[in-house]
Amino acid sequence: MNSRYFLLIAVSIFLALIMALMPLPFSFDPFRPDWVLLVLMYWALAVPHRLNIGTAWVVGLLIDLATGSPLGINSLTYSICIFVTVSNFQKIRNFSIWQQAILVGLFLTLYHLMQFWLNHFLMDVYFNPQYLWPVVTGMLSWPWIFLLLRKYRRHFRIR
Amino acid sequence: MKLMFGRTISLQLRLFVAVVLSVMLIVGDRYTQGGTTVRTSLNTLVSPLLYLANLPYEVFSLGAKSLHTRDQLLTENEALKKKQLLQSEQLQQYQFLSKENQKLRALLGSSAKQSNRKIIAQVLSVHSNPYSHQVVINRGTIDGISEGQAVVDEMGVVGQLTKVGSTTSRVLLMTDTTHATPVRILRNDVRTVVEGIGKINSVKLSHVPHSLDVRIGDVLVTSGLGGTFPEGYPVAVVTEINRDEGRPFAQVYAEPIAQLDRIRLLVILWRNQQETISNE
């Protein structure tokens, strides 16, 4: 039965990957939420014994390869974000959806600041407040992702 | 549900291992050469993902194409025919000039210029790292390309190849902060270097002395130094010169000639080499 759960979770992460890579009109592109990280966070909250830092690391590496960023940057930041989420999963589960959304926003801010810092260190990029738009859109899309994935999880009885 | 007990490895240890592995990857990626088998296979691993993500765009553009009206197609055809006529006229001139140039070079005793191999590539529209300027193309090691080759479009220089996989690869645009292009000013042959500043419509000339003869509107073409870009491809047009004597160098900005935010078809060039003369 273990492989069934693994497959179902992998399908959701795969769909998130496709959405993260899909072309968007030029003016919408800065607002794209971090779909993959949000989905990983959901699974880390719901089934922390199945999806953990190791998975986050591998998925982060895939994102690095697919978006052409220096290897290891997303692995590192995803691992840290999922670590923070998993180590507090029992507290976060008890919050209401909007409180969760605010917390997720905090984690996303942490993610984007670490991303920027690493990229600044490796490639000399300069800070642009535009880089933080995905935090806002990610926060706003968390309730929908949460409800959708909860339905998915309950329908397939992923435990 | 056994969530609290029976966890084999502690979270802290997992995080520690992940961080160590990531740092090793970052350092390894930074300080090793590209084009190795490991990297090519890693890049190949995500190629299907990129093609899949590009699929909706392809479907939409196919739909848009099939909705063209007859009139639109006829007008477009007419315009293209006119353009082709003009260009073939220029081509006749070009053949004559290139013959003449070869004769003159032979008279001067300097080496003859060879035309080099080239291949056309299409841009896959997928999302890339927001901190760098790059695009994905549908060519890879299967087509014989390799890292560091120059990429141009019908207007001018676009960038060079990085992260080559077997069926996809990435083009680092010349506006990226990590990219620099050796150029010379077409008007007076002064050599300089153009570097990206992370803006899609602006590049900067690096280390320009105040006394350098450069004017607004000057065309910059590749100088062929550095070995990546063949000589003579247009790169950028000078748009802004700020000769502030208080600064060590003059601030000169230029606008890329290729329209880097709307590229679709690209040409990949091979370096000038004896064994790759075979045109076509």
- B11/A86 touch (CB, cutoff 8 Å), yes or no: yes
Res B275: pLDDT: 41
User: Which residue on chain A is closest to B58 by alpha carbon?
Assistant: A23
| Model confidence at B8: pLDDT above 70 | no
CB–CB of A68 and B163 under 8 A?
Answer: yes
Query: What gap in Å lies between CA B262 and CA A79, rounded to an integer?
Result: 35
What is the residue-averaged pLDDT of chain B?
85
- Looking at residue A136, its pLDDT comes to 93
Question: What b/e sequence results for B105-136 when a residue is b if at least 16 CB atoms lie within 10 Å of its CB, and e otherwise?
Answer: eeeeeeeeeeebbbeebebbbbbbbbbbbbbb
Q: How confident is the model at residue B112 (pLDDT cuts 50, 70, 90)?
A: low
Does the distance separating the beta carbons of B125 and A76 come in below 8 Å?
no
The pLDDT value recorded for residue B34 is 64
User: pLDDT digits over B79-96, tens only?
Assistant: 999 999 999 888 888 888
Among chain B residues, CA nearest to A22: B53
Are A69 and B131 within 8 A, CB to CB? yes
Coil/strand/helix, residue B145: coil
Contacts with B45 from chain A: Cβ below 8 Å: 62, 65
More confident residue, B40 or A117: A117
Nearest CA in chain B to A30: B130
Average pLDDT for residues B196-214, to the nearest whole number? 89
**Subunit contact A131:B198, Cβ cutoff 8 A:** no
Contact at CB, B129 and A68, closer than 8 angstroms: yes
Judge: A65–B177 Cβ closer than 8 Å, yes or no: no
Q: Six-digit token pair at A17?
A: 């990957």
CA dihedral for B41, B43, B47, B49, sign (positive or negative): positive
Q: What percent of chain B has pLDDT over 90?
A: 31
Q: Report the percent of chain B where pLDDT is more than 70.
A: 91
Largest pairwise CA distance in chain A:
48
Distance from CA of A29 to the nearest CA of B (A): 8
Span B245-264, pLDDT tens digits? 888 899 999 999 998 888 88
Q: Is the pLDDT of residue A141 over 60?
A: yes
A24 neighbourhood in chain B, CB within 8 Å: 127
Q: Which of B11, B21, B177 lies nearest to residue A57, judging by beta carbons?
A: B21
Rounded Cα distance between A142 and A41, Å, is 10
Indicate which of A71, A112, A122, A135 best probes the interface with B, i.e. most B CBs within 10 Å of its own CB. Answer: A71
Tell me: pLDDT of A148 over 90: yes
Given a cut of 80, is residue A81 above it in pLDDT? Answer: yes
Residue A121 has pLDDT above 90, yes or no: no
Is a pLDDT exceeding 60 seen at residue A33? yes
How large is the average pLDDT for residues B219-237?
A: 89
Question: What pLDDT, on a 0 to 100 scale, did the predictor assign at position B222?
Answer: 92
pLDDT given at position A76? 94
Weakest mean pLDDT among B46-50, B65-69, B256-260? B65-69
Separation in Å, CA of A94 to nearest CA in chain B: 16
Give the mean pLDDT of A105-112: 94
Residue A87's closest chain B neighbor by CA? B11
- pLDDT, residue A125, reads 76
Distance from CA of A36 to the nearest CA of B (A): 13
B280 pLDDT above the threshold of 60: no
CB contact (8 A) between residue B127 and residue A80: no
Cβ neighbours around B174 below 10 Å, total: 26
- What pLDDT score does A39 carry? 95
